[in-house]
């Protein structure tokens, strides 16, 4: 019996559609400001992860601790309130059910993506000016940025797109679980473990990479704009879309929604 401390999967599907409807109807200014906040929040998590990667001697332990800190970004997005492009990829579910239009969804995605970029870059600039990234932390930031823009060169386009697909499958599932959690503790755990998993696994997240690559560039990484966008952010964004806007929403659409007498009807949970 559901004690309403959490939603069952069918209820999460319905709630996700309604959350998407609310997102589709927010004003452009609200979306931009909330997008900026989300970019900043994800960057905060990335700062913690980078710092631990530099300061903990054991590489495995450093990666584990960094992965445990990074999810703070999504926790802030979910619980403080912000708009994250990769999480909003779930909005395709509402489009498929007819709750809102593809035009409304694309408006959300474009504005939020721009906002996420602004927030990420703002934190990258501020962090670079703090002096806290000097020494080992700065060297680690440079190494991370350089590695991210050379994945395509070293392993090919398929490698980075695949990593991005896998990343956003996990990210939108974290958002899915957080939607189903009815209290703050449940939402924390819903964000924490899936996001920790994607960081440990080495997957690629477009919004996080905006911070990681640009802060590395500001600290001295020898990379240029074309490398940043063509070698990483654009292919990663495409992969994130495939994972988060195609694979998961279509799967749940086929599971929980069906056409009946020309109309979309929600299947009974019984």
**257 SS3 class:** strand
**Residue 260, pLDDT score:** 45
Q: What is the dihedral of CA 152, 158, 164, 168, to 10 degrees?
A: 170
Question: How many domains are there within the chain?
Answer: 1
**Residue 59, pLDDT score:** 84
In a domain, 4, yes or no: no
In a domain, 216, yes or no: yes
Phi-psi region of 203 (alpha: psi -120 to 50; beta: other; left: phi over 0): beta
In a domain, 202, yes or no: yes
- pLDDT below 50 — which residues of the chain? 1-2, 260-265, 267-270
In a domain, 102, yes or no: yes
Please enumerate in sequence order all residues whose Cβ is within 8 A of that of 240, keeping only pairs 6 or more positions apart, or say none. Answer: 85, 86, 89, 164, 165, 167, 168, 171, 204, 205, 206
**Residue 267, pLDDT score:** 47
**Residue 3, pLDDT score:** 64
Q: Check which CATH number belongs to the domain holding 119 and give it.
A: 1.20.1080.10
In a domain, 176, yes or no: yes
Which tens digits make up the pLDDT trace of 4-60? 788 999 999 999 999 999 999 999 999 999 999 999 999 999 999 999 989 887 888
- The answer to whether 215 and 133 have CB atoms below 8 angstroms apart is yes
- The answer to whether 191 and 174 have CB atoms below 8 angstroms apart is yes
Alpha-helix residue ranges (DSSP H) falling in the chain: 9-24, 28-55, 59-69, 72-76, 85-88, 92-97, 102-130, 136-149, 151-155, 157-180, 184-201, 206-218, 225-228, 234-241, 248-256
**Residue 57, pLDDT score:** 72
In a domain, 1, yes or no: no
- Among residues 172, 24, 168, which one has the least CA distance to residue 109? 24
In a domain, 117, yes or no: yes
Label the pairing between strands 263-266 and 257-260.
antiparallel
In a domain, 3, yes or no: no
Domain interval for residue 260:
9-266
């Amino acid at each position: 019996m559901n004690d309403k401390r959490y939603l069952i999967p069918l209820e999460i599907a319905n709630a996700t559609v309604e959350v998407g409807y609310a997102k589709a109807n927010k004003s452009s200014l609200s979306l931009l400001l909330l997008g900026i906040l989300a970019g900043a929040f994800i960057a905060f998590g990335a700062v913690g992860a980078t710092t631990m990667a530099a300061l903990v001697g054991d590489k495995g332990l450093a990666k584990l601790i960094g992965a445990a800190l990074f999810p703070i970004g999504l926790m802030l997005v979910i619980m403080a309130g912000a708009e994250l492009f990769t999480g909003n990829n779930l909005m395709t579910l509402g489009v498929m059910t007819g709750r809102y239009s593809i035009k409304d969804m694309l408006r959300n995605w474009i504005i939020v993506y721009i906002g996420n970029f602004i927030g990420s870059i703002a934190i990258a600039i501020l962090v670079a000016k703090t002096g806290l990234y000097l020494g080992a932390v700065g060297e680690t930031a440079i190494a991370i940025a350089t590695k991210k823009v050379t994945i395509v060169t070293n392993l090919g386009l398929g490698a980075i797109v695949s990593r991005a697909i896998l990343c956003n499958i996990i990210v939108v599932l974290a958002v899915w679980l957080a939607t189903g959690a009815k209290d703050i503790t449940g939402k924390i755990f819903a964000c924490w473990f899936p996001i920790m998993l994607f960081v440990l696994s080495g997957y690629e997240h477009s919004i996080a990479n905006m911070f990681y690559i640009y802060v590395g560039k500001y600290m001295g990484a020898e990379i240029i704009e074309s490398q940043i966008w063509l070698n990483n952010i654009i292919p990663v964004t495409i992969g994130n879309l495939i994972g988060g806007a195609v694979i998961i929403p279509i799967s749940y659409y086929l599971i929980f929604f069906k056409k009946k007498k020309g109309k979309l009807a929600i299947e009974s949970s019984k």
